[in-house]
Amino acid sequence: MRLVVNSPDEEGKMAYERTISTVLAESTIKGLIKSVYAYGDPKEPVFILIIHFAKGGGVLKFSEVVTLKFARDGVIAVCENDKLIPEVLRILWEKYGREKVEQLSRYEIMVKGEINDDVLNAVVFDPEKELMVSLMDIILRIVPEGFRVRRYIRRESVIAIIASEDPIKKEWIEKALRLMEEGI
């Protein structure tokens, strides 16, 4: 991963390098981030942050993570992934109501009735959504809090944030767009 910090203020640059590297080291998606570019000019005042990231794998559907066993009065859904069980339960509760869904053990959920196709095709895990949540967390930690006027620009696998105290100027947006295309 590459990290570049630019600023006319040399001391501020040094301090921000430490701040950003600490935030990234503690993040859960540090493996997915390719490069980070930050530019801060307190005289303007503006802070631009550009993050290039890799996309995660595809979505996981209900039928891919759950195996079905047929019992006398319904179906037993078995999901052996601890992280996905809450989402599987949520989908079943939403469709059949709490009275018809019962968790038998850590991995087994009993459903009184039949499981339809629309449940089987429901999305259990969307890496894109998870990635964006973690990415927003990183951004909020890095960007100076006083810069409350913010503009987010998202392309395929790049995100740029322009933050300032004053209304965002056109030249800052142009600079961010140029940096997004060029990469670092």
Partner 1 sequence: MIPLIFNGGVYEHQEFENLVYDLGGFVIMKNYAQTEVTIFFLVPEEDLERVKEKALELKAELKNAPLAGSEIAVVVPTISIYHLPHHSCDVAEYLRRKGAKTNMVGLSRGVGKRLAMLTAFERELINEHDVAVFLFGNFRECVSEKIKKMLRGVTIPAVATGFPKIEAPEGVEYVPNLGRIVGKFSRESDIELLEKVAKAVEKQVEKKRKIFERFDVPPYYIKSEIENQIPEIEESPSPAPITVKLDGVRVKLPYEKFGERIKDVRILDFRLGDICNVLPSVIEGQTLVRVAGVW
Residues interacting with partner 1, by CB under 8 A? 7, 9, 11-12, 14-16, 18-19, 22-23, 26, 40, 42-43, 45, 137, 140-141, 144-148, 165-166
- Least CB distance from residue 80 to partner 1, whole Å? 34
Which of 66, 68, 59 shows the shortest CA–CA distance to 80? 66
Which of residues 89 and 139 has its CB atom nearest to partner 1 in the complex?
A: 139
List strand residue ranges (DSSP E) for the chain, in order.
Answer: 2-6, 33-41, 46-53, 60-61, 67-71, 74-78, 101-103, 108-111, 123-125, 149-155, 158-164
Which of residues 63 and 134 has its CB atom nearest to partner 1 in the complex?
A: 134
- Least CB distance from residue 126 to partner 1, whole Å? 24
- Least CB distance from residue 43 to partner 1, whole Å? 6
Which of residues 38 and 115 has its CB atom nearest to partner 1 in the complex?
A: 38
Angle formed by the axes of helices 127-142 and 10-26, to 10°? 150
- Least CB distance from residue 158 to partner 1, whole Å? 22
- Residues in CB range of 72: below 8 A, 6 or more apart: none
The pair of structure tokens assigned to 62 is 């209900």
Which residues are 125's β-sheet partners? 60
Which of residues 123 and 133 has its CB atom nearest to partner 1 in the complex?
A: 133
